Amino acid sequence: MRPRLLDVVGYGGLAAGVLGTAAYAGGVASAALGLFLHFFIACGMALVYWLACLRWPALLGRPVLAGIGYGILTYLAMNYVIVPLSRATPSAFILPWFIDSVLAHVVLVGLLLAFVARWSANRR
């Protein structure tokens, strides 16, 4: 089965942080690198949140507030620290893309990690 072009280009774009603009011509190899980087970064975000919960257990008691805050923090870290230090080409500010990106980090990173951490802590 051949990969869909959108999937290859999307994950290839993630590889641009390492490969620069050459990632867009890398095809499946760039997409594989981008997918690996995506999971590596996500695991790093989860590790940082877990370590923060060990240091500040109060985060476990307020998962909504802590999750929203962590989602915003991860958005800021990725877009204003990690991406500028990478080889990725900066993109123009587009309001709908900005809103979507912040909401995605809040819901899919911050809140998800906060509730998983709380669930995990309650299992002990």
Joined tokens for residue 74: 């991860």
Conformation bin of residue 88: beta by default, left when phi > 0, alpha when psi is -120 to 50: beta
pLDDT in single tens digits along all 124 residues of the chain: 455 544 555 666 778 888 888 877 778 888 888 889 889 999 999 999 999 999 999 999 999 999 999 999 999 999 999 988 888 887 889 999 999 999 999 999 999 999 999 999 988 6
Task: Name, in order, each residue with C-beta under 8 angstroms of 115's C-beta and a sequence gap of 6 or more.
Answer: 63, 67
Q: Does the residue 7 lie in any domain?
A: no
Q: What is the pTM of this model?
A: 0.84
Total domain count for the chain? 1
Domain hosting 77: range is 40-123
Q: Does the residue 87 lie in any domain?
A: yes
